[in-house]
């Protein structure tokens, strides 16, 4: 199936599935690699009963499932192509419907303006707000190198590339929502406990 067809299939599956008329709360969680998003999302889930969805995890699960969609996604990634935004949005929508919850943290998404536009077009809702973990680059670098969980992408050259991609792709999304007064910026350079105190203040 060609790239156009995969996006068409995603649109077809998602059409009529917009969440616009349902009382759903979506919070986008953005921050550079090593900014502590994962740790804080786990805390929010525990304290505020949100469902945590990671676009990257959903794509990986779809590949593992061996479905037709999963095989196409895997081929595209292997070929160095970017998975169409509609496909990621379709996976998010499906996960939201299956969760039985009405409050969602969407982690590491939208990665870029195209993702943002696709999400709002297909799901037909805007986020309640964007939780932006703002962390100095040298601190994120230190954390990633220390973490080194056997992840081959945690070496200095790749880490810096990931920072660059985040700055170029995700900052325009943050700026867009900031212009609408929807960004809650958290100083993520502090110890995790202190960061969560600031997060709690936002959700309370």
Residue 6 confidence (pLDDT): 44
Mean pLDDT value of segment 114-130: 92
Q: What digits encode the pLDDT tens for the residues 69-97?
A: 899 998 888 887 778 899 999 999 999 99
Q: Is 147 annotated as a binding residue?
A: yes
CA–CA dist 118, 86 (Å, integer):
6
Query: pLDDT-based confidence at 133, cuts 50/70/90?
Result: very high
- Pick the closest to residue 55 from 24, 20, 93 (CA basis): 93
Q: Is 196 annotated as a binding residue?
A: no
Q: Is 23 annotated as a binding residue?
A: no
Q: Is 56 annotated as a binding residue?
A: no
Strand, helix or coil for residue 134: strand
Query: pLDDT-based confidence at 150, cuts 50/70/90?
Result: low
Number of domains composing the chain: 1
Q: Is 163 annotated as a binding residue?
A: no
pLDDT: which is higher, 167 or 180: 180
Q: Is 33 annotated as a binding residue?
A: no
Q: Is 150 annotated as a binding residue?
A: no
In eight-state DSSP terms, residue 150 is S
Q: Is 110 annotated as a binding residue?
A: yes
What residue numbers bound the domain in which 118 lies? 3-203
Q: Is 16 annotated as a binding residue?
A: no
Q: Is 82 annotated as a binding residue?
A: yes
Q: Is 36 annotated as a binding residue?
A: yes
Query: pLDDT-based confidence at 14, cuts 50/70/90?
Result: very low
pLDDT score of 151 more than 70: no
CATH of the domain at 25: 3.40.50.300
Q: Is 39 annotated as a binding residue?
A: yes
pTM > 0.85: no
């Amino acid at each position: 199936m060609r790239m156009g067809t995969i996006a068409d299939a995603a649109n077809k599956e998602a059409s009529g599935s917009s969440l616009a008329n349902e009382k759903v709360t979506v919070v986008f969680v953005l921050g550079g690699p090593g900014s502590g998003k994962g740790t804080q999302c786990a805390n929010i889930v525990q304290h505020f009963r949100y469902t945590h969805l990671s676009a990257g995890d959903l794509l990986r699960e779809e590949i593992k499932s061996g479905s037709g969609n999963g095989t196409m996604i895997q081929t595209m990634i292997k070929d160095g192509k970017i998975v169409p935004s509609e496909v990621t949005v379709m996976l998010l929508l499906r996960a939201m419907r299956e969760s039985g919850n009405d409050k969602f943290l969407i982690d590491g998404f939208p990665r870029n303006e195209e993702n943002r536009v696709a999400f709002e077009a297909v799901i037909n809702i805007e986020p309640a707000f964007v939780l932006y973990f703002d962390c100095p680059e040298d601190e994120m670098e230190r954390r990633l190198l220390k973490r080194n969980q056997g992840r081959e992408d945690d070496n200095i050259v790749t880490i810096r590339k990931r920072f660059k991609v985040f700055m170029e792709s995700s900052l325009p999304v943050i700026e867009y929502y900031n212009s609408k007064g929807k960004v809650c910026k958290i100083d993520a350079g502090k110890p995790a406990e202190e960061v969560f105190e600031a997060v709690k203040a936002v959700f309370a």
